[in-house]
């Protein structure tokens, strides 16, 4: 899928969420999940990123979770993983092969050679998920202890990314301390329902409607979330 820019003014429609905090209980230290809004960072040049960011943001909102969605400069040298590792964001959206290459380029290169050989030998079946899971597990094993990820989606993306050839299944990576159990269930629900065709259709409809929020809300209604 070729990324097409969605105007930033469209991408941030309806994002003025209030920030609330739970009252402190003197006998217990607060956890970040008790009071901190989830800060999602998406790359500003990517329609795919903006759609997915809005999708997660609105899904969290339906679960009464405070969320901030912000655009990150695409010309920055800071990687997506850097953003969550440095706590300038709580959740970033990318793809399994892309994240693995950011975290462990040597392992990404090794797996890419194996993957390309399997493709040449006709051993890669896109329907059985073997390589999706293999790259996902390698990515998970390379994450620092403060970070984790949702289940990998069947949707693929990151077609304009750099790095070795690997499966690129969409996956959010996030800070463990900020997302609670219900937040993680929301991410996994979306991962289990969204497809590559869905993302492409949402991008197309958002441009036609001139509103990301309208088409994303309609999708979430249809998905039953």
Q: How high is the pLDDT of residue 10?
A: 44
User: For residue 1, what pLDDT is reported?
Assistant: 42
What is residue 16's predicted lDDT score, i.e. its pLDDT? 32
- Domain extent, residue 184, equals 8-223
- The answer to whether residue 135 is domain-embedded is yes
Is residue 214, in this structure, part of any structural domain at all? yes
Is 147 a domain residue?
Answer: yes
pLDDT at 33: 60
Measured over the CA atoms of residue 220, residue 56, residue 70 and residue 38, the dihedral's sign is positive
Residue 33: how many other CB atoms lie within 10 Å: 17
pLDDT at 29: 53
The domain spanning residue 78 has which CATH number?
Answer: 3.40.190.10
Report phi then psi at 93, rounded to 5: -115, 130
14 belongs to a structural domain:
yes
Q: With the CA atoms of 88, 94, 100 and 103 taken in that order, what torsion angle do they form, in degrees rounded to the nearest 10?
A: -10
Nearest of 63, 78, 62, 84 to residue 172 by alpha carbon: 84
Residue 68: what are its φ and ψ, rounded to 5°? -120, 130
Q: What per-residue confidence (pLDDT) applies to 18? A: 35
DSSP reduced 3-state for 147? strand
Mean pLDDT of each 10-residue bin along the chain, 225 residues long: 42 35 45 78 92 97 95 84 96 97 98 96 86 97 98 92 93 96 96 95 95 95 89
Q: What is the pTM of this model?
A: 0.84
- Give the per-residue pLDDT at 15: 37
Residues pairing with 170 in the sheet: 95
How many distinct structural domains can be found in the chain? 1
């Amino acid at each position: 899928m070729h990324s097409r820019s969605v105007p930033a003014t469209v991408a941030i429609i309806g994002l003025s969420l209030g920030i609330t905090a739970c009252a402190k209980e003197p006998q217990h230290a607060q956890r970040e999940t008790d009071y901190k809004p989830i800060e999602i960072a998406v790359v500003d040049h990517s329609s795919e990123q903006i759609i997915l960011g809005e999708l997660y943001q609105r899904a969290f909102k339906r679960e009464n979770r405070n969320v901030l969605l912000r655009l990150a400069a695409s010309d920055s040298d800071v990687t997506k993983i850097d953003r969550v590792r440095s706590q300038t964001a709580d959740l970033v959206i990318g793809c399994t092969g892309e994240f693995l290459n950011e975290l462990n380029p040597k392992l990404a290169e090794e797996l890419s050679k194996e993957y390309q050989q399997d493709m040449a030998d006709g051993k890669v079946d896109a329907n059985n998920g073997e390589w999706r899971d293999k790259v996902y597990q390698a990515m998970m094993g390379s994450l620092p202890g403060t970070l984790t990820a949702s289940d990998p989606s069947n949707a693929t993306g990151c077609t304009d990314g750099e790095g070795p050839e690997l499966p690129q299944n969409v996956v959010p990576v996030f800070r463990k301390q900020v997302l609670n159990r219900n937040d993680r269930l929301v991410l996994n629900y979306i991962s289990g329902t969204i497809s590559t065709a869905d993302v492409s259709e949402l991008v197309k409809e958002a441009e036609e409607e001139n509103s990301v929020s309208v088409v994303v809300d309609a999708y979430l209604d249809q998905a039953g979330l």
